[in-house]
């Protein structure tokens, strides 16, 4: 009996580790996508993600301290059809291209979006979360 429980426990740990690896990859891609879209990004801090099988996964983050999120289709770790959302602090600043309508963030929409696959995060402090919001 102990062997069965131990095997189940090991399989569960392995599955959780694989999900965490996929979530880490997704968060890294979304960080690169954010840098590809905006200039002035100094820090990105991910918060626990939210998942609902009918609504997909929402990756919450703070960019230079400003809240935002990316919603994607599919299970945690998926990066299908990422759609950015965020709280708009100031409509005018948002219309001027400031991230989430917050001039204080120092993050502004680029004139031409970069290719996310070629963006590096060397100059950005990124804190990954990998945890599900309970």
Q: pLDDT of 51-91, one tens digit each? A: 988 889 999 999 999 999 999 999 999 888 999 887 788 88
Say how many domains are in the chain: 1
Instruction: For residue 93, tell me if it sits in a domain.
Output: yes
In Å, how far from its chain's centre is CA 26? Answer: 7
Instruction: For residue 63, tell me if it sits in a domain.
Output: yes
| Block residue for tokens 């965490």 | 20
Q: Which two tokens stand for residue 22?
A: 């996929």
Average pLDDT over residues 111-131: 94
Instruction: For residue 133, tell me if it sits in a domain.
Output: no
Instruction: For residue 134, tell me if it sits in a domain.
Output: no
Cα-based distances in Å from 122 to 36, 103, 107? 13, 24, 17
| Block residue for tokens 């954010």 | 34
Give dist(CA 92, CA 35) in Å, integer: 22
3-state secondary structure (DSSP) of residue 98? strand
Residue 18 pLDDT grade (very low, low, confident, very high; cuts 50, 70, 90): confident
CB 68 within 8 A of CB 62: yes
Instruction: For residue 7, tell me if it sits in a domain.
Output: yes
What is the chain's mean pLDDT, rounded? 88
Instruction: For residue 132, tell me if it sits in a domain.
Output: no
Q: Evaluate if residue 49 carries a pLDDT over 80.
A: yes
Instruction: For residue 66, tell me if it sits in a domain.
Output: yes
What pTM, to 2 d.p., does this model score?
0.85
| Domain extent for 34 | 2-127
């Amino acid at each position: 009996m102990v062997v069965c429980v131990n095997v189940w426990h090991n399989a569960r740990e392995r599955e959780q580790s694989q999900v965490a690896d996929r979530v880490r990859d997704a968060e890294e891609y979304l960080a690169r996508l954010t840098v590809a879209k905006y200039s002035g990004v100094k820090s990105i801090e991910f918060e626990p993600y939210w998942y609902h099988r009918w609504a997909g996964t929402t990756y919450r983050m703070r960019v230079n301290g400003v809240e935002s999120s990316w919603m994607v289709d599919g299970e945690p770790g998926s990066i299908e059809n990422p759609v950015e959302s965020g709280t708009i602090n100031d409509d005018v600043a948002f219309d001027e291209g400031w991230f989430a309508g917050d001039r204080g963030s120092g993050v502004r929409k680029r004139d031409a979006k970069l290719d996310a696959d070629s963006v590096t995060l060397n100059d950005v402090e990124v804190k990954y979360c990998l945890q599900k919001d309970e």
